[in-house]
Amino acid sequence: MDSAVLLDLLGNENRRRILRLLAYKPCYVTEISEYLGVSPKAVIDHLRKLEEAGLIESTTDDQRRKYFHITRSLRLEVSVSPYGFGAKSAYPAKSSLDMSGRCPHLSIDAPSRSEPDPSGDVADLAVEYGRLQELDRELSLAQRWVHGRVEDTLAAIDERLGTEADSRFFAAILAALVETDGTPSAVAEEVGAPEDAVADALQQLSDVGVARREDDRYTIR
């Protein structure tokens, strides 16, 4: 789902409270209405929007009472900094995803089986759950560390270039100089930007002594 749509949807406090309640247990409209302190009509409207977005769905019991529950897990990340604003959403990867070689900068002790065995010993499942929680905490800390280093790097680029230009764009160009032959066309293809904009940026980097031009190629000094 588009991240902007999710942000708009979750911008409503009552919809966030509904999801918080449904994360605890499935509920029917009257329960949700009493929990929120709003009319059943308003609850139904919120539920409809959440259902249309695919975040929740309903089932009917023997008494034909409709229960609502969260459909599946979804992660929404929002990043706000002096160097950019962005939001991204992602569903959990399939248990069959092969993690070997996918995270060269991290060492993840993936279990030998693709997913927990529901018929296995409960104690073993509890240990696996605890291990995954610890891994989640470590990854969260690593992500914060990376974000901090990214901002430090962009701030250093701003200070070095002495310009109000887009530091992320210049950082991408500098990284592309390492990965390509240094021609404006190759760098433009690597960063996915118009060649004339890349050529102007390379000239700016050359003017401040960060890059060196040799014929039609640039290298980092």
**pLDDT tens digits along 121-130:** 888 888 888 8
Q: How far apart are CA 48 and CA 54, in angstroms?
A: 10
pLDDT at 181 over 80: yes
The two tokens of residue 127 are 């240990």
Quote the mean pLDDT of the chain.
84
pTM above 0.85, yes or no: no
CA distances from 215 to 182, 183, 184, 219 (A): 10, 9, 11, 11
Q: Residues near 157 by Cβ (< 8 Å), separated by ≥ 6?
A: 167, 170, 171, 174
The lowest-confidence range among 53-67, 112-126, 129-143 is 112-126
Specify the fold of 162-220: Arc Repressor Mutant, subunit A (1.10.10)
Confidence of residue 59 (pLDDT cuts 50, 70, 90): very high
pLDDT exceeds cutoff 80 at 99? no
| Domain segments of the chain as ranges | 3-70, 162-220
Angle at 75 between CA 122 and CA 143, to 5 degrees: 95
Domains 3-70 and 162-220 alike in fold? yes
CA 26 to chain centre: 27
The whole-number pLDDT of residue 140 equals 87
Vertex 202: Cα angle to 165 and 79 (nearest 5): 40
- pLDDT tens for 197-210 read 889 888 888 888 88
Task: In whole angstroms, give the CA distance from residue 191 to residue 213.
Answer: 19
Q: Is 3-70 in CATH node 3.40.50.1580?
A: no
